[in-house]
Amino acid sequence: MSTLRFPQGFRWGTATSSFQIEGGADERGDSIWDEFCRVPGAIADGSDGRVAVDHYHRYPQDVELMASMGLDTYRFSVSWPRVLNPDGSVNRVGMGFYDALVDTLCAAGIRPWLTLYHWDLPAWLSGGWTNRATADAFADYAMRVHDALGDRVRVWTTLNEPWCASFLSYAGGHHAPGHTDPAEAYAAAHHLLLGHGLAVKALRAADPEATLGLTLNFTPAYPADPDSAADVDVVRRVDGTAHRIFTDPVFRGEYPADVIADAGAAWPSGLVHDGDLELIGAPIDVLGVNYYTSQLFHAGQPAPQPTPHPAATDAVAVDRPELSRTDMGWEVTPDAFRDLLIGLHRDYTGPAGIPLAITENGAAIDDPDPASGPIDDTERIDYLVGHLSAVHQAIEAGAQVDTYLVWSLIDNFEWAFGYTKRFGLVAVDEALNRVPKASARWYSELVRTGTLTLPERA
Ligand code: IFM
């Protein structure tokens, strides 16, 4: 049997986000996701995040679960409309929840990794991320949270997946606020990055020793026909708005010229002010990588509908029937993960001397109902084995990767899919009891030994 040993000191954990697990909605303000859930047809099963999996009331049990699995790190996000009131003052009860959560994590020996923004923007911020003022409000919010928790939380992620919060939300219409205007998407992307830059500046000044970063989601795009100039070009344009519009300003202090040229009239005039790129490009300490799948595209004529790739309206996704898929319909492509990590280290983080952290990776599997007996989610375990093996290969090839966090600790609200998709190591039954799956036991053993056992090849 072959095994792969991860480096000494490699850190293991799980990730979640506030809106997806907390519930406790009567005890916080509305976010844009509360509003979006009320739009008929926006959420596949018509559900919402008002109760979710009730982590707001059951967090001691969830922390205890993680401790029993031997996890070292827990990445969670703070709900902005829980901790701040519309007038900008701190909601003491809301902040108290995170204060208690962080204390409980620390007492259990689990490192708290805090994400400031995982999409639940306060509904009262006029214009959302299309409004430049939201970036300033974000930096103020970051400091309020730091004032309360900075003595114990040492790792801070500003944004989770700004592509989703801009292009998927303001151009594709799939996520809150459900708009379909490319110009709004470019504005949102820049203001999210500006908010990141302003928050890093403020946090750095207040707490020079803190570890600061942001998390980007990567779905590597490949041409269906590498010899077709049209396919190669459509992939360049998908990659431009999915990835380089974020990596280049953060690590190189500039927007790629081709991305601005491809945006054409959709790039709002006067969007970028003097000094913005210096703020956005200020050094960070870690890049969070979220990875689930890769995609093949050819240049063609897709059915006309709003797209989250506004500069690539000719992009047609091409299926690879030979690959297995998760319950999201996403193709399982661990080799692309390895290549991504090697490429990010070579082109962005290595030259900056900073590590990569896998802040999300995992699989939605159509698990049986927990009421029907123990959940033997071997498909999820297989997915994780394949992707951890890819991480190991990337490390062997020289990529600096020091953390791996499974998405997700527990089944939860999967955005526009509601509760129809299950990513958790732990299931939740009708009564909201927690039921660990086989993958939770498997992961616990991996964390204990730091050694991945590979299946025998046939
Ligand atoms: O559930 C989401 C998470 O909120 C952000 N990253 C992708 C996950 C799976 O879709």
Domains along the chain with CATH numbers: 3-453 (3.20.20.80)
Distance 148 CA to ligand 1 centre (A): 27
If one residue of 290, 330, 361, 365 were mutated to test the ligand 1 pocket, choosing by the most ligand atoms within 8 A of its CB, it would be 290
Cβ–Cβ under 8 Å, residues 9 and 402: yes
Place of tokens 């500069």: 311
Distance between terminal CA atoms of the chain? 12
371-399 pLDDT, tens digit per residue, is 999 999 999 999 999 999 999 999 999 99
If one residue of 53, 327, 408 were mutated to test the ligand 1 pocket, choosing by the most ligand atoms within 8 A of its CB, it would be 408
Distance 24 CA to ligand 1 centre (A): 20
pLDDT of residue 165: 98
- 64: annotated active-site residue: no
107-149 pLDDT, tens digit per residue, is 999 999 999 999 999 999 999 999 999 999 999 999 999 999 9
Q: Which residues contact 65 (CB under 8 A, 6 or more apart)?
A: 409, 426, 434, 436, 440
Q: Is 276 exposed, middle or buried (0-12, 13-18, 19+ CB in 10 A)?
A: buried
**Residue nearest ligand 1's atom 2 by CA:** 414
Written as one string, the DSSP assignment of 224-267 is SSTT-HHHHHHHHHHHIIIIIHHHHHHHHSS--HHHHHHHGGGS
Preceding omega of 17 cis (within 30 degrees of 0) = no
Distance 360 CA to ligand 1 centre (A): 8
Q: Which residues pair with 3 in a beta bridge?
A: 453
Q: What percent of the chain has pLDDT over 70?
A: 100
Determine whether the shortest distance from the Cβ of 161 to ligand 1 is under 6 A. Answer: yes
- 360: annotated active-site residue: yes
Q: Measured at the alpha carbon of residue 37, what is the angle toward residues 36 and 40, in degrees to the nearest 5?
A: 90
SS3 138: helix
**Residue nearest ligand 1's atom 9 by CA:** 414
CB burial string 313-327: b at 16+ within 10 A, e below: ebbbeeeeeeeeebb
How many residues are recorded in the chain? Answer: 458
Which residue type, as a one-letter code, is found at position 24?
G
Q: Which two tokens stand for residue 278?
A: 């210096």
Distance 176 CA to ligand 1 centre (A): 14
pLDDT beyond 90 at 345: yes
283-327 pLDDT, tens digit per residue, is 999 999 999 999 999 999 988 899 999 999 999 999 999 999 999
pTM: 0.98
238-254 pLDDT, tens digit per residue, is 999 999 999 999 999 99
Determine whether the shortest distance from the Cβ of 290 to ligand 1 is under 6 A. Answer: yes
Q: Which residues contact 373 (CB under 8 A, 6 or more apart)?
A: none
